[in-house]
Structure formats: structure tokens, C-alpha cells
Amino acid sequence: MGGVHPEENKFSENAAIEMLPLPKQVIVQLGQNLGAPSKPLVKRGDMVKVGQMIGKGESFISANLHSPASGKVLKVDDAPDASGYRRPAVYIDVDGDEWVDDVDLSPGIERAIKLSRQEIIEKIKECGIVGLGGATFPTHVKLMVPDGKKAEYLLINGVECEPYLTSDHRLMLEKGEEVLIGTQILMKALEVDKAIIGIENNKSDAINHLNTLAAGYEGISVQPLKVKYPQGGEKQLIKAVLNREVPSGKLPIEVGCVVSNVGTAFAVYEAVQKNKPLIERVVTITGKAVKKPSNFMVRIGTPISQLVEAAEGLPENTGKVINGGPMMGKALTNLDVPIVKGSSGILLMKKEESLRPTSKTCIRCSKCTVVCPMGLEPFLLSKLSKLAEYERAEKQKIMDCIECGSCQYTCPSHLPLLDYLRLGKLRVGQIIRTRK
């Protein structure tokens, strides 16, 4: 149900993944995952190696952090994150690329899975793997299926429905085998025997490539999907692949599913088979005016400015820089913000694209209701939120909103529907928490 079809603009889909040179300084945010921030393990003046743990995830929903570069810790101090808030981060002056000893840096593919189920989860936790689709939920927590629930399917999300972004697409093409082994590892951890990789039809090369490879892996199949935003949403993917609806307010495990991104599957492969912690990821740098739209393997903590330089510089008329895709990404205030685990792409928008048109009054066309993938009424929810009618908004299921932005994308009156929905969700969330 619902959904929109924005222009795809996948300019970088044919650009092979390149290694981005090491920056002079990395800024590693301590709160990169959903849940509690990691606790710093280093202090000013410490020498660190690549892969050395520098932040520990101590609470239940939390993840470890590892140094993405070798060098000297300059300071542990606040740094502005993608939202513009100042949050604690570890600054490291880079002076080389010296790795910790136990990481396997050989180029060969390690196929045999030697670890047991419990060891796999432990390894994933140790290596600080989080969901790389953007939500950054710690993967080891996802793998611990609560008592009384049973996972039946593992879904691997290769949908990449956001316009412009191509990092998952390239990963599936270039690291297909690693993604499949990672999928197998996750299957073992979850004790499921069926995994389905969902990919939209606009990536037929990736579908064919993974289909060929998947023949060698028992229980893994590839399912082509119609192109539709926001099909990469967890609940939407489950609906599209298995026609099951995750109940309102519940997790996918309720319908026997666990969903992971292809990027996460690759990171899991590297962690479990190569003992390599999550210190780098594929990031797309793109935009209509970008001279060389590309995909880079980027160390976490690299400032975005370096990525922009590698794409042959900031175009003259850049008006907006977005961390993520154009539908759900965050606008950045400056280019010094570092890459975090959840950064899938950097989109540079031209000045003329970056301003919103003046909004008019609602003409009650109900297009927002038609496109809402959650069956909500954005026109009503935004109005209730504007009027501070939070209890009514809660009854109208405002908390089910996945913030995909389809409503605002469609609105012929250019109303800031999602802005008000976000405000409403924030307030309703606070109200719900105080009730407990």
C-alpha cells in the first residue's frame, strides 16, 4: 500500500568502489549506534592502532567502537554530529595505517564458518557491528531472539529505494560472495534455514549476480521487487517479500522475521571470518552538479570534506549537503561532520533544488493518505500536532509513522507535513514514557 516513485538519479551506479585515502585526522563519534553511546576507553595522548577498541558499549542496546586509523589521540571532546548537536567524540591524529595483530588482512575469501552460534553473536558484538541501512541498531541485540519467539526467515535488504544512493548496489555487485557468506553466518546465528535477499528491479545486474552466486548457498534466494519508495523500510520489505504485516508497535520477530541490510551482512562476514571490526563502510558521494559521482570505501570518522574533494570538489552552486538520501537524509550545516557507521551517502544539492516552495493551504486532496505506506492520514496528524492535540494524534497512530516523507513529497500545497509529524511523534513519545 502507498508509496511514491521519485526520480532515481542513480548517477554513481556504475562507479566501482574505490578506497578513500586516509585523512589527517579522524573524529570518531561515541554515539554512532541506536541506544546508549559507547564509553571512551582512551584518553589524550594514547597511541592507538587500526581496529583497537576505543569505545565500549556497556548497556544492553549499545555497541563497541574501534579506531579507524593508527595514531595519537588528540583529545576526547565534543564534536558536532549530523544533526548539528555537539556530542562526545574521540579525535585521532592519523600517522599511518598500522593494524592490530589479530585481524586477517589477506585478500582471499574465507568460506567455512567455524564459529558456533553463540561465538558468532559474541564476535559480532565484540566487533561493534550495527545495522548499516541507516538505523544503526546493534546487530548482536537483533540476533538474540527473545524467549517464546522464533525466527523463521532472515530477510536481507538490498532494496536501496532512496534515490541517488548506490552503496548497497555496488556492494552486492563487487562483494556478492562475502554478502552471501555473511548471510549464512546470520542464518546460523538465528537458527533459520531460509534467507531471502530482496532487491528492486532497477538493479537487475545485482539480481542476476546474486542469483548466480546464491545457487551455491543452501537456503538463500533472491527476490526481485517492483521499484517503489519506501520499500526498503523494514516493515514494507517484509510485506513485499512475504506478505506479512508486522503489527502496529511491534518488531519484525512478531511475524517470524529478522531483517538485515546487505552492508550489515558484509560487515558480519568481515567480523566473523576475518576478525575485522567495523571501521569502514561504503559511502556514495553524488548529486546533480557533482563532477564525479562515486562510491568510496571510507574509514569511519573521515570528515565529509575529504569525500567531497575526492569527488572533484564542491560544486560552485551547492545549496544543501545531505547525509543520506534525499527522502530521509539529514541536511548538514558544514562539511567537517565525520562519517559515522550509519552514513550511506552524501548528496550535494544545487541551490535551486535546496529551497522549499512556499506552502499553501491544504486543499484536502487526500494524496498524502493515498501514498502513506502505513495507512495513516498525514494531513490530520500534522494538524493535530500543530494544535498540540497529542492524545488524539496518538489514537490516530502517529507513532506508526516511519518518517519516510512520501506525504510531504506528494503534497501539492507543499505543506511541511513531516516536520509537524516529527514534532507530534516526539511529544507523544514523551507522553507515553511518562505514563510508565
CB of 152 vs another protein, minimal distance in Å? 18
CB of 304 vs another protein, minimal distance in Å? 11
With beta carbons less than 8 A apart as the criterion, state whether 275 and 133 touch. no
Backbone torsion region of residue 336, taken as left when φ is above 0, otherwise alpha when ψ lies between -120 and 50, otherwise beta: alpha
Contacts to another protein from residues 416-435, by CB under 8 A? 416, 418-419, 422
Determine how β-strand 47-48 pairs with β-strand 70-80: antiparallel
Within a 10 A sphere around the Cβ of 216, how many other Cβ atoms?
10
Residue 346 sits in the site that holds another protein (CB under 8 A): no
Tally DSSP H helices, then E strands, for the chain: 14, 17
Cell output for 391: 492524545
CB of 395 vs another protein, minimal distance in Å? 10
Question: Looking up cell 546487505, which residue turns up?
Answer: 262
Question: Looking up cell 493535530, which residue turns up?
Answer: 384
Number of amino acids touching another protein (CB under 8 A): 71
Query: What is the C-alpha separation between 205 and 202, in angstroms, rounded?
Result: 9
CB of 413 vs another protein, minimal distance in Å? 6
Residue 350 sits in the site that holds another protein (CB under 8 A): no
Residue 251 sits in the site that holds another protein (CB under 8 A): no
Contacts to another protein from residues 206-245, by CB under 8 A? 235, 239, 245
Residue 284 sits in the site that holds another protein (CB under 8 A): no
Residue 46 sits in the site that holds another protein (CB under 8 A): no
Query: What is the C-alpha separation between 210 and 221, in angstroms, rounded?
Result: 9
CB closer to another protein out of 153 and 409: 409
Residue 296 sits in the site that holds another protein (CB under 8 A): no
Please identify which residue in 329, 342, 345, 424 interacts with another protein, judged by CB under 8 A: 329
CB closer to another protein out of 152 and 400: 400
CB of 49 vs another protein, minimal distance in Å? 35
CB of 251 vs another protein, minimal distance in Å? 11
Please identify which residue in 410, 424, 425, 428 interacts with another protein, judged by CB under 8 A: 410
With beta carbons less than 8 A apart as the criterion, state whether 402 and 396 touch. no
Helix or strand (DSSP H, E) at 408: helix 406-410
CB closer to another protein out of 74 and 331: 331
Which residues, 6 or more positions from 435, have their beta carbon under 8 angstroms from its beta carbon?
Answer: none
CB closer to another protein out of 342 and 405: 405
CB of 229 vs another protein, minimal distance in Å? 10
CB of 5 vs another protein, minimal distance in Å? 9
Contacts to another protein from residues 299-328, by CB under 8 A? 314, 318-322, 324, 326-328
Binding mask 364-403 for another protein (x = CB under 8 A): xxxx-x--xxxxxx-x----------------xx--x--x
Within a 10 A sphere around the Cβ of 40, how many other Cβ atoms?
17
Radius of gyration of the CA atoms of the chain, in A: 21
Query: What is the C-alpha separation between 378 and 92, in angstroms, rounded?
Result: 44
Contacts to another protein from residues 86-145, by CB under 8 A? none
Please identify which residue in 354, 389, 399, 427 interacts with another protein, judged by CB under 8 A: 354
CB of 323 vs another protein, minimal distance in Å? 10
Residue 333 sits in the site that holds another protein (CB under 8 A): yes
CB closer to another protein out of 84 and 216: 84
What is the largest distance, in Å, between two alpha-carbon atoms of the chain?
64
- In terms of C-beta density within 10 A (0-12 exposed, 13-18 middle, 19 or more buried), how is residue 402 classed? middle
CB closer to another protein out of 40 and 163: 163
Residue 289 sits in the site that holds another protein (CB under 8 A): no
Cell output for 77: 571532546
Please identify which residue in 414, 426, 430, 432 interacts with another protein, judged by CB under 8 A: 414
Cell output for 323: 547525509
Please identify which residue in 291, 334, 391, 430 interacts with another protein, judged by CB under 8 A: 334
- In terms of C-beta density within 10 A (0-12 exposed, 13-18 middle, 19 or more buried), how is residue 141 classed? buried
Query: What is the C-alpha separation between 418 and 327, in angstroms, rounded?
Result: 11
Cell output for 356: 522549499
